[in-house]
A and B are shown apart, each in its own frame.
Chain A
Amino acid sequence: MSVTSTAARASRRRVLPGFGLTMGYSVLYLSLVVLLPLSALLFNSTGLSWDKFWSVATDARVLASYRVSLGTAAAAALVDSFLGLLLAWVLVRYEFPGKRLFDALIDLPFALPTAVAGVSLTALYSQNGWIGSLLEPLGFKVAFTPLGITLALMFIGIPFVVRTVQPVLEDLDRDMEEAAATLGAGRWRAFRTVVLPELFPPLLTGFALAFARGIGEYGSVVFISGNMPMRTEIAPLLIMSKLEQYDYAGATAVALLLLLLSFLMLLVINSLQRWVHKSAR
């Protein structure tokens, strides 16, 4: 950044009006709606001591719920990375009939209320559902198993991957691919050695976004998971059942762990997004 533009930026504060007012309102509203309520988890009134926190955090059922949540979210995000790459590639590189509908449909999981996704996926994969009834004779049970949870999270996560990879792929300069072709590389080799490295940062970002969303997801999962403790009980649901038993301290402990994990993912995603921006320049 040149000296003059730095100087121009520094003087911006004085040029446009409303800094104090807009900043003050933003911070106040943010504090009231988000920060103060969130701090209730830390400064809670539930009498959650360290000992209690530790005993809840290391409880077998709680640990199992984290295993289920993390495992299924990771599996779903991984599968979504591959499927999302395929969808983004086809959307950016090819022309075909129905492409606009194709493009629009990808946003459905963003727009569809999670409870609707939940009941619909359960109907689809239960024993007498369209897909469930096909898989049943083959010995696959989907509904009420970790596989069902993974499928629900795949539905929720797929747009994150597509919408992160798509813009990068659109901006990708095709000169490099051409150069690779001139040097005798086939299409597959050119894709692997030239395109894929460029797409790696957005793919990883998409994976992280889908994973982060998957860890906290509740609505689309509760119906298909069956909610069996130790087997298909996800962490957000455990918070819910502890609350229903008026175990506020226990719910807070599980939530604190989950929140910590979310913060970690937020940091990772932020630095990934900066990386994508940098490599896109």
Chain B
Amino acid sequence: MAGTVPMHAPGPKTAASSPATNESPVVKWVLIAAAGLVLLWLIALPLIVVLTEALKRGWEVYWAALSDPDAASALRLTLLVAAITVPLNTVFGVIAAWAVTKFRFRGKGFLVTLIDLPFAVSPVIGGLIFVLVFGSHGWFGPWLSENDIKIVFALPGIVLATLFITFPFVARELIPLMEDQGTQEEEAAITLGARGWQIFFRVTLPNIKWGLLYGIILCNARAMGEFGAVSVVSGHIRGKTNTLPLHVEILYNEYQFSASFAVASLLLLLALATMLIKSWLLRKNAH
């Protein structure tokens, strides 16, 4: 459900208005220390564990795990799935945000709630529904097997489940942003004789580009990292329908902990890159 909390640029520094509304230095530093410990325990330790476990048995084991053909094919599949799903959901996000924020119509709130739906649904259900539609016992199961088309336990199923899970990310980021910006600039462009695409590319897009980019990197992080939904539809065929997160699981369940954490460290890198870009975008946005 990441992303239900829209991008938020830190406000102006809350300057200490008067000593009466400040805590004593002792209280202040005790609170900061407590918060630091919570952060270290809850968030930083799991991060550090991934790296130390991955390198526990040395760089050679680490490289061997990453250069394993199965790991390489999992990486390729993960990249491929993201390359298909992220653009599709980005296009949808922009179009839906335009429809929702630039016009007034009945049932707008309902539509936005429907867009949010995949955030609320358990990932496992996000996979199950595609098994019910395309699986051998599903709606289209008999027809698909007659025509020798494989969707579940193959690439199309993984793509569909990922599309479902990452569906709201871009739209959810753009809707509040474009709502705040209103329609005045676009309306001004119209009176100056601009046409639809011109308005979008010259007026709207420059206004939303950072928010859009933020939505895209969140969408991408989830598309590459999705586990539950993909796990249901993938069939776990090594070297074929295994994505990186599934590969982490397989290695872990085979007690190849170092290899499992080595692959996990790749995904951690993805997460760190996502966070880095986010904080860079936030600072950009604040100016």
On A, residues with C-beta under 8 Å from B are 9-10, 12-13, 15-19, 22-23, 25-27, 29-30, 33-38, 40-41, 44-46, 83, 86-87, 89-96, 100, 102-121, 123-124, 129-131, 154-155, 158-160, 163-164, 166-167, 170-171, 174, 177-178, 181-182, 187, 190, 209, 212-213, 215-219, 223, 235-237, 239-240, 243, 248, 251-252, 255, 258-259, 262-263, 265-266, 269-270
Contacts and interface: CB of A to CB of B under 8 A. Distances in A.
Contacts of B115: 30
Contacts of A235: 122
B103 interface: yes
A167 B164 CA distance: 29
Contacts of A154: 42
Contacts of A15: 183, 187, 190
B205 interface: no
B90 to A, nearest CB: 12
Contact of B125 (A30, A45, A103, A259): A259
Interface string B95-123: 11011101111000001011111101111
A-B pairs with lowest CB-CB distance, top 8? A113-B225, A216-B122, A181-B20, A218-B228, A219-B227, A22-B99, A110-B2, A111-B271
A251 B20 CA distance: 59
Given A119-B260, A124-B49, A26 B125 contact: no
B206 interface: no
A235 B39 CA distance: 29
Nearest to A20: B99
B10 interface: yes
A167 B100 CA distance: 24
Contact of A113 (B13, B163, B218, B271): B271
The secondary structure that dominates the B interface is helix
B53 A174 contact: no
B99 A236 contact: no
Contacts of A12: 102-104, 183
B143 to A, nearest CB: 12
B264 interface: yes
A73 to B, nearest CB: 11
Interface string B232-272: 10000000000011101100100001001100100110111
Given A15-B183, A120-B46, A259-B121, A110 B114 contact: no
A258 B20 contact: no
B118 A34 contact: yes
Contact of B1 (A45, A167, A209): A209
A111 B1 contact: no
Most buried by B among A35, A239, A263: A239
Interface in B29-52: 31-32, 34-36, 38-39, 42-47, 49-50
B104 A46 contact: no
A115 B113 CA distance: 28
Contacts of A258: 122, 125
B172 to A, nearest CB: 12
A10 B53 contact: no
A116 B78 CA distance: 15
B199 A121 contact: no
Contacts of A217: 122-123
A177 B20 CA distance: 8
A89 B103 contact: no
A239 B124 CA distance: 7
Contact of B245 (A41, A113, A124, A164): A113
